Amino acid sequence: MSGWITAVYRLRAGAAEVEARAEAIALEQSVEAPLAAVRDDFVRENIVGRVAAIEDCGGGWFEARIELAAATIGYDAGQLLNMLFGNSSLLEDVLLVDAILPAPLAAAFGGPSHGLAALRAEAGASGRALTCSALKPQGVPAAELAELAFALSMGGLDFLKDDHGLADQTYSRFEARIAACAAAVRKARDRTGGRTRYAPSLSGSYPQMRQQLLAARGEGLDAALIAPMIAGCSNFQALRVEFPDFAFLAHPTMTGRAISPVLFARLFRLFGADVAIFPNYGGRFGYSPAVCEAIAAALLSGDDGLKPSIPAPAGGMSVERTPELLDRYGRDVMLLIGGALLSAPREALTEQTRRFVEAVASHHYR
Amino acid sequence: MSGWITAVYRLRAGAAEVEARAEAIALEQSVEAPLAAVRDDFVRENIVGRVAAIEDCGGGWFEARIELAAATIGYDAGQLLNMLFGNSSLLEDVLLVDAILPAPLAAAFGGPSHGLAALRAEAGASGRALTCSALKPQGVPAAELAELAFALSMGGLDFLKDDHGLADQTYSRFEARIAACAAAVRKARDRTGGRTRYAPSLSGSYPQMRQQLLAARGEGLDAALIAPMIAGCSNFQALRVEFPDFAFLAHPTMTGRAISPVLFARLFRLFGADVAIFPNYGGRFGYSPAVCEAIAAALLSGDDGLKPSIPAPAGGMSVERTPELLDRYGRDVMLLIGGALLSAPREALTEQTRRFVEAVASHHYR
């Protein structure tokens, strides 16, 4: 693997010191040693990071484009993160805003196994956006979550995912929980002829996640929620390869604020996210509409030959906002409404869900 | 598992809104739903997070102590991180500064397999600090790293670790590299009667790390470097259990700046770090002496009955600073000097390392 990754950092510095700071990041993110300790010509020419450009963004902030050798990645997702931002994440006033990978490196990661077109076709949702809700709150026993799963699925959702807080807790063990919820979703599908797919949340170590995926497959499931920054990106990458029949929904928990959400979207797609959940503007998180549109664009881009992922804006959405969101995102989106549906009285949950599903189905896209 | 974790957040807010913001974090980090969606009494009383105290720190910043149910963790390291800070990591102006766990939860994680006393005894270093250096730069072939490993080990180090950028790259595959370096360290030990322990860097998915540990064990090694925030903390936790013969050195790459390094020290020890590396004050990173002392204290604390971990300040250290650092940290520390040793001319590398080792051995502790 030859070629260079272009990593884009934003850093705060005095104009007189910005070049030295950018050079320091280039060393930190490659050889992690003073240049004096690098005696090998091959390493100096092919491995040491290099500052390609520095742009003044005003207000004491600069954007530095730094080239990092693709060879240092070894095709490993965790190592990519390590080389892009590992030690520099500890520095004050340095943000990682983007990364452009050489095409062969992107191709080696492989992207989603299924992606937008396949998930849409399987949902029978040609020409419209997809719908999703979340099973919560954690703490209730499996049987109660299964009742919610039934009521939500009866409303005709395309996807139903576990809350990312559902793990393997004593009050609701993973296997019993997903067996109950999968059965509830099957029952609703049988009644309505719908196609709701249930995606349980993976947690724990790789061996535990592997067992969870096997158990899910045993229940006839073929979708799962994963939090790459908790699981470790390399483990997500490996699970995607080991379970090609599964569609993976990536959750943004622990992605923080020092790496741009647009880059995370790009990376999660690269590592195999069929769907990437992100905090929508106007909800509980402070993302702007422009950032959300850039996230969606990064997920939908097929420039690198990999399949597009489905953007799934979430986090405090409501049924009432459906037209506004579809006007903004268009068809290529999965709307995720969790708490707002679950706040409805239990007996109105299916009806409230149906309102959401119908609002999406009947929308006239611009 | 009953009981509550006390999580301490620092947040910026207007005085009029701080209570609402703290309540929002308590919900976000527990049920992740509006209270209206929580109908179950058990969940309201035992699972929903609760604000215990809010303190005005001045300058628009507040410290909120929020109690999170220990039952939500399921004894899983990744889930602990997820519940402490997962979604809140996406919020602006919220930092996680500390977490106090109920004793049974800490005991369930188990802490280091070996810890300070065992590592010190095995090094024959009673009454003195420990020494460590790093193999770098990445990009050089295995044979060249092995030459460095030999020269450094001849200087009498206690530990020699891979740079955390060394992974499984085509220019230096893991197994060939560690075989060559382990042989070089053995040769030096045979010549000097020293006890240098070599700790290769683990990378990739859990199955890959497992293979790497088996290969290391095959080479007679019993120490390894791991980056918990790249590997995924649950995977670190599982590897610690699966490989109890190994001492684990934890690397802070990707720990960022939104969770305090003191808490990371606490967590890494909890999950099994025998040694925790952190950026020393006065080096390439901006940590203050007070923060470094707090990190060391967190690692050395045995209050919870788990073994103390060894603090390993690093990141731009020099041999000349040895007396100052030992005056500050005392005996219970592992000094890690990498680049400054490797900047010496190759023929002076062993001698320079010996100077470092002797400065540590001859220090008169206050």
- Whether residue A111 contacts residue A272, with contact meaning beta carbons closer than 8 Å, is answered with yes
A228 Cβ contact partners less than 8 Å away, ≥ 6 residues apart: A77, A236, A250, A251, A267, A268, A271, A273
A102 prior amide bond cis, ω within 30: no
* Residues in A 1-40 with any Cβ partner in B closer than 8 A: 1, 24, 28, 30-34, 36-40
With CB atoms and an 8 Å threshold, state whether A139 touches B40: yes
Q: Picking from A29-43, B116-130, B259-273, which range would have the lowest pLDDT averaged per residue?
A: A29-43
Q: What pLDDT is recorded for position B1?
A: 61
From the list B137, B227, B258, the residue facing A256 with the nearest CB is B258
User: Which residue(s) pair with B334 in the sheet?
Assistant: B130
From the list A253, A261, A346, the residue facing B87 with the nearest CB is A253
Token pair, residue B185, equals 């360290």
Q: Does B89 contact chain A (CB < 8 Å)? A: yes
With CB atoms and an 8 Å threshold, state whether A138 touches B72: yes
Token pair, residue B284, equals 């390439």
Q: Does B147 contact chain A (CB < 8 Å)? A: no
Residue with tokens 């085509």: B170
User: Which residue(s) pair with B313 in the sheet?
Assistant: B278
Task: Render each residue's pLDDT in chain A as its tens digit; 366 residues.
Answer: 679 999 999 999 999 999 999 999 999 999 999 898 899 999 999 999 999 999 999 999 999 999 999 999 999 999 999 999 999 999 999 999 999 999 999 999 999 999 999 999 999 999 999 999 999 999 999 999 999 999 999 999 999 999 999 999 999 999 999 999 999 999 999 999 999 999 999 999 999 999 999 999 999 999 999 999 999 999 999 999 999 999 999 999 999 999 999 999 999 999 999 999 999 999 889 899 999 999 999 999 988 999 999 999 999 889 999 999 999 999 999 999 999 999 999 999 999 999 999 999 999 998
> For residue A58, which phi and psi values (nearest 5 degrees)?
85, 160
- Whether residue A85 contacts residue A96, with contact meaning beta carbons closer than 8 Å, is answered with yes
With CB atoms and an 8 Å threshold, state whether B74 touches A170: yes
- Whether residue A268 contacts residue A276, with contact meaning beta carbons closer than 8 Å, is answered with yes
Counting Cβ atoms within 10 Å, is residue B147 exposed (0-12), middle (13-18) or buried (19+)?
Answer: middle
Q: What pLDDT is recorded for position A147?
A: 97
Helices (H), chain A: 18-28, 41-46, 77-85, 103-109, 115-123, 142-154, 174-192, 206-218, 228-231, 233-242, 261-271, 289-300, 322-329, 339-342, 349-361
Helix (H) / strand (E) containing B278: strand B275-279
Could you tell me the residue ranges of all domains in chain B? Answer: 4-109, 115-361
Q: What is the pLDDT of residues B182-215, one digit of tens each?
A: 999 999 999 999 999 999 999 999 999 999 999 9
User: Which residue(s) pair with B5 in the sheet?
Assistant: B68
For an interface test with A, give the residue of B40, B41, B138 to mutate (most A CBs within 10 A): B138
Q: What is the pLDDT of residues B326-360, one digit of tens each?
A: 999 999 999 999 999 999 999 999 999 999 999 99
From the list B43, B138, B342, the residue facing A137 with the nearest CB is B43
Q: What pLDDT is recorded for position A55?
A: 98
Q: Does A53 contact chain B (CB < 8 Å)? A: no
Q: What is the pLDDT of residues B270-325, one digit of tens each?
A: 999 999 999 999 988 989 999 999 999 999 998 899 999 999 999 988 999 999 99
Q: Which residues of A84-118 are buried (b: 16+ CB within 10 A; e: fewer)?
A: bbbbbbbbeebbbebbebbeebbebbbbbbbbbee
Tell me the CATH class for A4-109: alpha beta
> For residue A302, which phi and psi values (nearest 5 degrees)?
-115, 15
User: Which residue(s) pair with B247 in the sheet?
Assistant: B223
CA distance A280 to A98: 20
Q: What percent of chain B has pLDDT over 90?
A: 95
- Whether residue B250 contacts residue B310, with contact meaning beta carbons closer than 8 Å, is answered with no
Work out the minimum CA distance from B217 to partner chain A, whole angstroms: 21
Q: Which residue of chain B comes nearest to A241, CA vs CA?
A: B205
For an interface test with A, give the residue of B27, B90, B203 to mutate (most A CBs within 10 A): B90
CA distance B180 to B144: 9
Q: What is the pLDDT of residues B144-196, one digit of tens each?
A: 999 999 999 999 999 999 999 999 999 999 999 999 999 999 999 999 999 99
Summary mean pLDDT of chain B = 96
Helices (H), B225-331: 228-231, 233-242, 261-271, 289-300, 322-329
Other CB atoms within 10 Å distance of the CB of residue A244: 10
From the list B28, B92, B204, the residue facing A76 with the nearest CB is B204
Categorize the per-residue pLDDT at B2 as very low, low, confident or very high, splitting at 50, 70 and 90: confident
Q: What pLDDT is recorded for position A1?
A: 62
If you write DSSP's letter for every residue of A129-154 in order, what string do you get? -EEEEEE--TTS-HHHHHHHHHHHHH
Cα angle B359, B269, A82; round to 5: 85
With CB atoms and an 8 Å threshold, state whether B72 touches A28: no
From the list A83, A92, A171, the residue facing B71 with the nearest CB is A171
- Of the candidates B80, B228, B251, which has an alpha carbon nearest to the alpha carbon of residue A253? B80
B20 Cβ contact partners less than 8 Å away, ≥ 6 residues apart: none
Q: Which residues of B78-105 are buried (b: 16+ CB within 10 A; e: fewer)?
A: bbbbbbbbbbbbbbeebbbebbebbeeb
* Residues in B 168-187 with any Cβ partner in A closer than 8 A: 168-171
For chain A, count helices (H), then strands (E): 15, 12
For chain B, count helices (H), then strands (E): 15, 12
Q: What percent of chain B has pLDDT over 70?
A: 100
What secondary structure letter does DSSP report for A36?
G
Write the ipTM. 0.97
Token pair, residue B341, equals 């040793």
Evaluate whether the domain defined by A115-361 bears CATH number 1.10.1200.10.
no
Work out the minimum CA distance from A20 to partner chain B, whole angstroms: 12
Q: What pLDDT is recorded for position B316?
A: 83
Mean pLDDT, residues B245-254: 98
With CB atoms and an 8 Å threshold, state whether B138 touches A204: no
